[in-house]
Every structure is written in structure tokens, then in C-alpha cells.
Amino acid sequence: MMVTLSLTNALSHDPVMLKECLSALQVQRGGRYVDCTVGGGGHAEAIMEESSPGGQLIGIDADPRALKVAAEKLKPYGKDVILINENFRNLENICTRYGFRPVNGILFDLGMSSLQLEETGRGFSFRQNAPLDMRFSDRQVLTAADIVNTYSETQLADLLYKYGEERRSRQIAKRIVQKRPLRTTLELARVVEQAVAGARGRIHPATKTFQALRIAVNRELENLELALGQALELLGSGGRLVVISFHSLEDRLVKDFLRREARGCVCPPSAVTCVCGHTPRMKIVTKKAVVPSPAEVRANPRSRSARMRAGELI
């Protein structure tokens, strides 16, 4: 579905590592770009400013609310910008549908946007009471409440450990099962606090639990893995792939993808001779993850966990 709605009171959202992102993309006049997580449109607006005149952009987001904000911000660019309300797991299909290939650059700004955290009723944050939803799109079926109230104790523990890297996953899962049904964010946050009573740390005890549930509900890692492979098929020679991630699971997936595509043989170490036929398709632009400057972190504390990696199609 193409979004053409207008929003007069657009919420604010500071794009993370904007200068670093534009530099990594090597934005050029008249170029074609895809913002796979357009959100409030901050990165997309900057890309269009740099690529004009003649620049074109497809902006994708699973969240129709975010696209309303982006549509208002990007209105001055008219038909040069196409906004699509879909998941980026359909990246190649979307670009083919609009004859938008090859492209000069593809950007992923992963995780939640400030818009989603600030909007009430979505269930992404435990700072306000809301239903346990956590879906990026209303068209999705599975909610966080479904997982919390129907998964077995073992399934919950495994999910919290895998997607939240939560070391106390078993005691949290046990407490959830004892206290359910749980319907709201504050109910869940209190149960997690009870489960790990006495444990202290820099972050709220429920942070990793909420992260794990959000990732599972939206199939974030699975979708990212699918989309990264499609991005290679869409980039033109010298095209750039840039990914900004916000937790170690995403960053590790991106790092491994770039390393794999930058080398030749990917056969297991036990293989006597190469049978994979794999050849390098990318060169890594960022030798290590790029992080926000101290000044940006002070101005926008939510940027502190951001990590950016980039590769160029050979």
C-alpha cells in the first residue's frame, strides 16, 4: 500500500549518526536510494537533500503511523519519493514492482524509533501502562500478550535468553507463568522485577525481557537476514549498504553477513576442497562498527547503543 496521508503535527525524531550515514552511503546527485526503515523520515530527508536534483527514494516501513510523519516531512520532494507500508523482508519485490533497480544505496536503521516509544498504547515501553502489543503493524497477528500468556515456561525462558540475552531467563519465565494472565506493560515489568528482586544493574530489570518479546513479535532478526540478501541483488556496482543497529544480536548478524560476502570460500573448516563456489561480492567499508560521537550521545541519549556498519558491492 502506498501512503499519501498528511500529518500536521509531526512528532520529532532525531536521525542517528546522520553525517556518518550520509558519508557511508556516498550520496550523489541523481542517485537512487532505499530507506528500509524510513520511520519519521529524518535520514530520508537528508538523503533527498544530498541527491537533489534528480534523486529518488523509496521509503519502507511496517508501521503506518510512522509513514504519516515521513509523508509530511518528505512532501516537498513529490513523486521523487515513494513511501511503502510493508515490511522490508519484501525489499526486492517492492523495488521490482516500482522498477527501482539497480540502486546506489540501501539504508537500514533498525530497532524502534522515538516515535514508537513515545506513542501511547503500543506496548513497547514499560514507562507507561499499555496493552502488551508490541506489533509494528496492526496487520500482524501475534502480540506480546499471546507469547507471555500461552508459551510454556521452557519456551519463554529460551526466548528471553536467545533474543534478550537475559541470563536470568529461567527465573523470569517461571515467575511469568505463575502470575499470568498478564495484559499490560506495567504488570509484566512488575513481575520481572519480582523475579529478579535484589539484582542491580545500569538498566531496568525488564529491559531485556521487553527487547526479546519485541524481536519475537516482529520477527526482526529473521526479516533482517532475508532483507540483507535481497539488498545485494538490488545494488548497482559500487552501491553501498549501510546498517545502523541497536543491540548485539543485530550487529553480529550484520557483521557476519558483511564478512561472509567479502570473502571467497565459505565452506566449513572440515572441507578438504572448496565446493561452495562462493566469490567475494562486497568490500567492507567500515573496518569496525562506527559509534555516535560523545556530543551526539549527550544530545540524544537513545543513540548511545547505535552501531553502524557499511559495505560496497564490488
Distances in whole angstroms, Cα of residue 156 to Cα of each of 130, 170, 186: 21, 8, 18
Residue type, 43: H
Cβ contact 34:234 at 8 Å = yes
Domain ranges of the chain: 18-115+220-313, 139-217
Per-residue pLDDT of the chain (314 residues; tens, 9 = 90+): 344 333 333 344 679 999 999 999 999 999 999 999 999 999 999 999 999 999 999 999 998 888 999 999 999 999 999 999 999 999 999 999 999 999 999 999 997 766 666 666 788 888 889 999 999 988 899 999 999 999 999 999 999 999 999 999 999 999 999 999 999 999 999 999 999 987 767 788 999 999 999 999 999 999 999 999 999 999 999 999 999 999 999 999 999 999 999 998 878 878 878 888 778 999 999 999 999 999 999 999 889 999 999 999 99
**What is the H or E stretch that residue 108 is in?**
strand 103-109
* C-alpha cell belonging to residue 53: 536534483
What was the pLDDT predicted at 6? 35
What was the pLDDT predicted at 112? 72
Beta-carbon contacts of residue 214 (< 8 Å; ≥ 6 apart): 112, 124, 134, 144, 220
What was the pLDDT predicted at 169? 97
Same CATH topology for 18-115+220-313 and 139-217: the answer is no
CATH 3.40.50.150 applies to domain 18-115+220-313: yes
Beta-carbon contacts of residue 157 (< 8 Å; ≥ 6 apart): 169, 170, 172, 173, 174
What single-letter DSSP state applies at residue 276?
S
What was the pLDDT predicted at 5? 34
Distance CA 124, CA 184 (A): 11
| Among the listed residues 70, 107, 110, 94, the one whose alpha carbon sits nearest the alpha carbon of residue 1 | 94
Distance CA 203, CA 149 (A): 25
Unique residue bearing C-alpha cell 558491492: 313
E strands, 254-293, in order: 282-284
Cβ contact 300:293 at 8 Å = no
Name the CATH code of domain 139-217 (choices 3.30.465.10, 1.25.40.10, 3.40.470.10, 1.10.150.170).
Answer: 1.10.150.170
What was the pLDDT predicted at 69? 92
Q: Is 181 exposed, middle or buried (0-12, 13-18, 19+ CB in 10 A)?
A: exposed
Beta-carbon contacts of residue 308 (< 8 Å; ≥ 6 apart): 17, 20, 21, 24, 242, 243, 244, 245, 286, 289, 290, 291
* C-alpha cell belonging to residue 59: 521509503
HSE of 55, CA atoms in CB hemisphere, 13 A:
23
Q: What are φ and ψ of residue 234, in 5° steps?
A: -95, -25
Beta-carbon contacts of residue 93 (< 8 Å; ≥ 6 apart): none
Beta-carbon contacts of residue 256 (< 8 Å; ≥ 6 apart): none
What was the pLDDT predicted at 197? 84
Beta-carbon contacts of residue 15 (< 8 Å; ≥ 6 apart): 21, 40, 42, 43, 46, 109
Distance CA 310, CA 11 (A): 29
